[in-house]
Amino acid sequence: MHFTKLFLTIALLGPMASGAAAQTSVTCSVETVLGQAEAVTGEVRRSLEPLAQVAIQDRIETAERGLVTLVCPDDLRITVGPSSVVVLVDVDQGATGWGASLSTGIARFARPLFGGARFEVRTPSAVASVRSTVWTIEATAEATAVFVREGQVVVTPVAEAPADGPTEAVLDAGQGVEVSVSDGLGPVEDWGRNRIAQQEARLFPEGQ
């Protein structure tokens, strides 16, 4: 199976700032590190260890056997899997919020219900909208795969859907979908145990 290269943006949308757009200030704390993981701030590169801090514009990179879990505001947990790159970014359009971009690899995002605020994941091929959930995104060179473990996610393609193609997919727990720029949304499927186990092994090696 070919998964795509993904540029993912996860936007946590909070209350609107009064007046002009406010500068977002977000700090996440490293909870656990397995293998090698680094943060890059400007031209400065540093190894990540538990309790280290990362902030907006920091780039998190993991090695082939690396994995890092971040604890962020609003009880959001981001698990960055092996061979992955995540950058914490500002959210534009005047919202008081922040996001993350995933240029390659695999990451899991877990966030409890937060005042009904919407939480979006954006890629070149799809937008995933949630209120509270646990889900995983896989990204390589050709497609985006979204899997929901808890909650519900609405996925829409960024590109105009084919004339006879779906324009939206609603994923419940245990379901996944693939989206590509060229072909749009694939069918919603119940992921079997083997596929889920393979994904879990990448994010939680050796039973972690």
pLDDT tens string for the chain (208 positions)?
A: 443 333 443 334 343 333 444 445 789 999 999 999 999 999 999 999 999 999 989 999 999 999 999 998 888 899 999 999 888 877 554 455 577 788 888 989 898 865 545 667 677 677 777 767 898 988 766 788 999 999 889 888 877 766 777 889 999 999 999 988 788 899 999 999 999 998 888 888 765 5
Side-chain-side CA neighbours of 38 within 13 Å: the count stands at 12
Q: How far apart are CA 162 and CA 180, in angstroms?
A: 12
Is residue 68 situated within a structural domain? yes
Q: What is the pLDDT of residue 1?
A: 43
Q: Is residue 80 part of a domain?
A: yes
| Domain with 113 in it | 8-16+25-207
Length of the chain: 208
Tally the domains of the chain.
1
Which pLDDT score is estimated for 92?
55
- Asked, for residue 2, whether it belongs to a domain, the answer is no
At 88, which CATH number? Answer: 2.60.120.1440
pLDDT of residue 189: 97
Give the pLDDT score at 10: 39
Distances (CA, A) of 45 to 14, 60, 68, 155: 31, 10, 16, 35
Pure H helices in the chain: 193-203
DSSP single-letter state for residue 206 = G
DSSP 173-190: TTEEEEEETTTEE---EE
Taking Cα atoms as reference points, which of 164, 200, 207, 202 lies closest to residue 185?
164
In a domain? residue 67: yes
Tokens 């082939």 correspond to what residue? 64
HSE of 195, CA atoms in CB hemisphere, 13 A: 16
Q: Is residue 64 part of a domain?
A: yes
Question: What phi, psi does 61 have (nearest 5°)?
Answer: -125, 135
**Phi then psi for 124, rounded to 5 degrees?**
-60, -20
Closest to 176 measured CA to CA, from 135, 205, 206, 140: 135
How far is Cα 91 from Cα 146, in angstroms, rounded to an integer? Answer: 22
Please count the CA atoms within 13 angstroms of the CA of 190 that sit on its side-chain side.
Answer: 2
Q: Check if the beta carbon of residue 11 is closer than 8 Å to that of residue 24.
A: no
